[in-house]
Every structure is written in structure tokens, then in C-alpha cells.
Structure 1
């Protein structure tokens, strides 16, 4: 059985040529979970898989990570076989923000008669969630206001940080072992994002060797990170993952 993390886009919000940062967990070539849905994500997803996602995890509600949910609503609402079936997982603290961002506009349809969330199967969570017999851990990250951004991890296989400053204390818990760590990183950090100098200050060599950097500011920045010896995610690229062990007895 093969496990892969497929990066649909890898760019920071302004790096439109790299695509909105998002990734898909694949098992034996089949998509299991889409992580984030920016403005161009649905097009990239459907080009790769020929259908809309069956499950989506939202790391935070900045528009370069959720703006594609309006189009996804229309895609699902007008397909009677898919309406109400795509699961949307998110930390419960994000629900008010996501409601304001994508679901509160008066009249989801011009014709009326449609409640936004009826197109989806909404699954708020706190510690994590079950999907396809797998337990995914959810953990807080450091991006703007506390309690507004959350990463996701499949223990022993991968960690996806979402937008964040360095989080060594979280990776000590959720990134232990040998799995891939997909981490926000640009050439220069700021109060909301990690820079390569932060990576080299906050993480030891063993952890840095497991990083796959994304959310960089340009193709040139990505190549500069690669020239410093880091593995970078590239738009459309796939990273092989270790298979996850059986879920822990205390999961859920």
C-alpha cells in the first residue's frame, strides 16, 4: 500500500504562479483528504482526480486557503449525488470565522432556498477526527491571533503545519518519529510566517532533515531554499510517505 502527499499548490498568498498552498493525502493513488481550498485549488484538484473532493480539512480561514469553497459549494449543490456528502473537518474554534468568510452572505443562491452548509457534511473537531479508519490529530499553530490556525497530522506518516511561525513544542508531540513534516517557510520570516533563519534556529538537524518546505514567496525563493539543502514541495509534486501505524487505542 502506497501513501503520498500530493502538493496542488505551494505558494504564499501573493505567489499566484505557484498556486494556493494545498495538498492531498493519497492512498494507492486515491485521494483521501484535501488540505485547504484556495482560489485555484478546486481546478487543480479536479484536473488531478476528475471529481470534487470527498473530504476537506481547513487549517485557517485566510482567503488564500478557503476562497475556493464558494465554487465548491456550487459544484456540490447542483450535483444531487454529491450534495451533503463532502465532509469538511475543522477545529471548532474556526467555525465562526469560516461562517463569516464563506457562508454568511445573504442568499447562497440567487434563487434562494439553499443553506450553505447543506451542500457539505460539516464535522467540527478539537483534538482530531476519524476518516477512512484513520485518526488525524489536530493541533494549534502560530499564525496571527491565537486559536485561529491549526495543523493536522497522521501519526507516523506526515505533519502539515498550515501557515505558522515555528512550533517546536507541537512537533515534539505530533512530529515525533520518521514521518514527513510539511512546513510553512519562506526566505524571510515575519510575525505570521516562518523564515529559513527561524527553521535553523528552532529545529535540530534531525528534524530539519524531515522537513518539506512550502508556502514560499516565489519560484526563485523555492530554488534558494533547495540550494541551502532543504527539500521543497513543488506545485504538482508528490512526496512518498511512511505508512501510518494502526490508530492509537486512546484516539478519538
Structure 2
């Protein structure tokens, strides 16, 4: 069984030429799980796979990661074969924020009679969730206010941080094997995002060697990160992942 991470976009919020940061976990060449849904993500997903996503994980509720959900609602609602079937996995703490950002506006349809979440299958989680027979761990990250952002891990295969400052305590638990580590990184960090100096201060070389950096500020920034010896994700790139390990004891 082959696993890949397909980067639909790799840019920071202002780096529109790189696309909104979003990626797809692929299994045997087919999409399994979309991570985040920014303003341009749905178009990129449909261009790659020919249909809307059947499953979506949301790391946090900034608009460059959820703004595409309104269009996704319309795409699903008006197709009876898709309506109510796309799974939305999101940490339970984020549900009120997600409701306020994308679902609370009065009158989802001009004609009325429709509740936003009827178009989806909302699945809140805390420690993680089962999807297509495998267990995904969910872990807290450091992005703005505590408790408002969460990364994703597939044991033995992938750690996807979402937007974050360094989280060495999480990687020590969930990324200490052969996992590919997709990590937020720009040239210069700030109170909400990691920079190169942050990675070099917080992580051992063994972790940095397995990192793929995304959410950077421009193509030029990406070239500078690569010149410093880091692997940098590019929009449209597929990265091979190790096969997942059996779930850790206590998963689920």
C-alpha cells in the first residue's frame, strides 16, 4: 500500500501565488483526507481529483484555512449524491469558532429551510479519530491563543503541524520514528509562526532531517530555505510517506 502527501498549496496567508496551505493524504493514489480548506483549495482539489473532498480535517479557523468551506457547502448541498456525506473532522474545542466563522450567517440559502451542517457530516474529536480504518492523532499546537490550533499525526507515517510555533514536546511523542514532518516555517518567525532559527533552536538534527517546510512567504523565501539545507514543499508536489504503524495503545 502506497501513501503520499499531496501539497495543494504551500503559502502563508499573504503568499497568494503559492496557494493557501492545504494538503491531501493519499492512499494507493486516491485522496483519503484533505487537510484544511482555504479560499482556493476547493478549486485545486477538484482540478486534481475531479470531485469535492469526501473527508476534511481542519487545523484551525483562520480564514486562509477555512474560507473555502462556504463554496464546499454549495457544491455538496446541490448534489444529492454528495449531500451529508463529506466528513468534517475538527477538534471539539474549535467547533464554536467554526460555527461562528462559517455557519452562523442568517439564511444559508436565500430560499431558507436549510441548516449549514446538513451538507456535511461533522465529527468532533479530541485525542484523534478513526478514518478509513486507520487512527489519526490530534495534538495541540502553538498558534495565537492556546487551544485554538491542532496538528495531525499518522503514526509511523506523517506529522502535519498546521500553523504553529515549534512543538518539540509533540514531536517527541508523535514524530520520533520515521514520520515525514510537514512543518510551518518561514525565513523569520513571529509569535504565531516558526522561523528557521526557531527550528534550529528547538529541534534536534534528527527531526530537522525529516522535515518538509511549508507556509512560507514567497517563492524567493522557499529558495532561501532550500539553500539552508531544508526540504521545501512546492505547490502540487507529492511526497512519499512511510506506511503507517499499528495504532498506539489506547488509541480510539
TM range (shorter): over 0.9
Partner secondary structure for residue 183 of structure 1: strand
How far apart are the structure 2 equivalents of 1:248 and 1:146? Answer: 26
Q: CA RMSD in A?
A: 0.6
Distance apart, 1:247 and its partner CA: 2.4
Q: Gaps (5+ residues) in structure 1?
A: none
Equivalent positions of 1:90-169 (< 5 A) are 90-169=90-169
The normalised TM-score by structure 2 is 0.99
Structure 1 position 47 matched with structure 2 position 35: no
Partner secondary structure for residue 123 of structure 1: strand
Equivalent positions of 1:1-252 (< 5 A) are 1-252=1-252
Distance apart, 1:251 and its partner CA: 1.1
How far apart are the structure 1 equivalents of 2:108 and 2:43? Answer: 21
Instruction: State the aligned residue count.
Output: 252
Runs of 4+ residues over 6 Å off in structure 1: none
CA contact (8 A) 2:155 2:246 kept: no
Per-residue Cα deviation, 1:143-172 (whole angstroms, up to 9, x for no partner):
000000000000000000000000001110
Partner secondary structure for residue 31 of structure 1: strand
How far apart are the structure 1 equivalents of 2:186 and 2:248? Answer: 34
Distance apart, 1:132 and its partner CA: 0.3
Distance apart, 1:245 and its partner CA: 1.8
Partner secondary structure for residue 93 of structure 2: helix
How far apart are the structure 1 equivalents of 2:81 and 2:248? Answer: 34
Per-residue Cα deviation, 1:111-156 (whole angstroms, up to 9, x for no partner):
1111000000000000000000000000000000000000000000
Partner secondary structure for residue 193 of structure 1: coil
